[in-house]
Amino acid sequence: MSRLLIATLASLALLSGCALSPQVVNITPQATVSGPAYGQGRGVNVTVIDKLPSRTLGSRGGVYSETSTITINNDLAAAVQITAEHALQQLGFSNTSSATPADITISIEALTYDSHVKSLIYHVDVEAMVKVTTNINGSIHEGNYRTQGSHQFGQAPDEGKNADVINKLLSDTLDRAFSDMNLAKFMLQNP
């Protein structure tokens, strides 16, 4: 009798873990760029374009994967704009030199989330892709930056943990974009 009770309780515990609720996360990337301050006082105009097909990043998995989604709560383009402007200030862009201002367009091409359970471990795969186009007097530099991450959890991650994972990934992608030495060279070669 006790074996049957234990088996029933274990089955119920496993089944209850299969139905996951949808989550809504705030995207707040933080850029901590490294490398030389190649802005040298140049002015910069930043435009961010959100090219994601929807505010839903993906599914948390589970029995009802179609409805256990992860959705962006805030304005993604505005959040990336704030982060980009802060990163560019760190790199010396301040509109205090006579250099021609740069126009930078950041296109958010992809931001995805996927989860599955294997051997009772939650596997979360995330990906971000951004395209940064810089224009100075008709001279153009384009860079494409893609970052992927895989994480494992003993239980389904909550909203806070998922927000941390997504924000870290997007932050790393933006850091790579602004720390790109090809972008720095382009800026320095186009006064």
Q: Structural domain of residue 170, as residue ranges?
A: 2-189
What's 69's domain CATH number?
A: 3.30.160.150
Q: How far apart are CA 98 and CA 94, in angstroms?
A: 11
- CB 114 within 8 Å of CB 59: yes
pTM, to two decimals: 0.86
Mean pLDDT of the chain: 89
- Digit-coded pLDDT (tens) for 163-190: 999 999 999 999 999 999 999 999 999 9
Q: How far apart are CA 158 and CA 178, in angstroms?
A: 31
List helix spans (H) across the chain: 2-16, 76-90, 159-178, 181-189
- CB 1 within 8 Å of CB 9: no
More confident residue, 86 or 19: 86
- CB 147 within 8 Å of CB 127: yes
- CB 136 within 8 Å of CB 187: yes
- CB 110 within 8 Å of CB 129: yes
Q: How far apart are CA 132 and CA 72, in angstroms?
A: 22
Pair of tokens at residue 157: 């991650």
Tally of domains in the chain: 1
- pLDDT tier at 34, thresholds 50, 70, 90: confident
- Within 10 A of 94 (CB to CB), how many other CB atoms are there? 15
- HSE-up of 134 (CA within 13 Å, CB side)? 24
Residue matched to tokens 């998922």: 162
Pair of tokens at residue 27: 């995207």
Q: How far apart are CA 178 and CA 181, in angstroms?
A: 8
Indicate the residue type of 50: D
Pair of tokens at residue 103: 């126009």
- Digit-coded pLDDT (tens) for 117-168: 899 899 999 999 999 999 999 999 999 999 999 999 999 999 999 999 999 9
- Digit-coded pLDDT (tens) for 4-32: 545 444 444 444 445 689 999 999 999 88
Indicate the residue type of 20: L
Indicate the residue type of 96: T
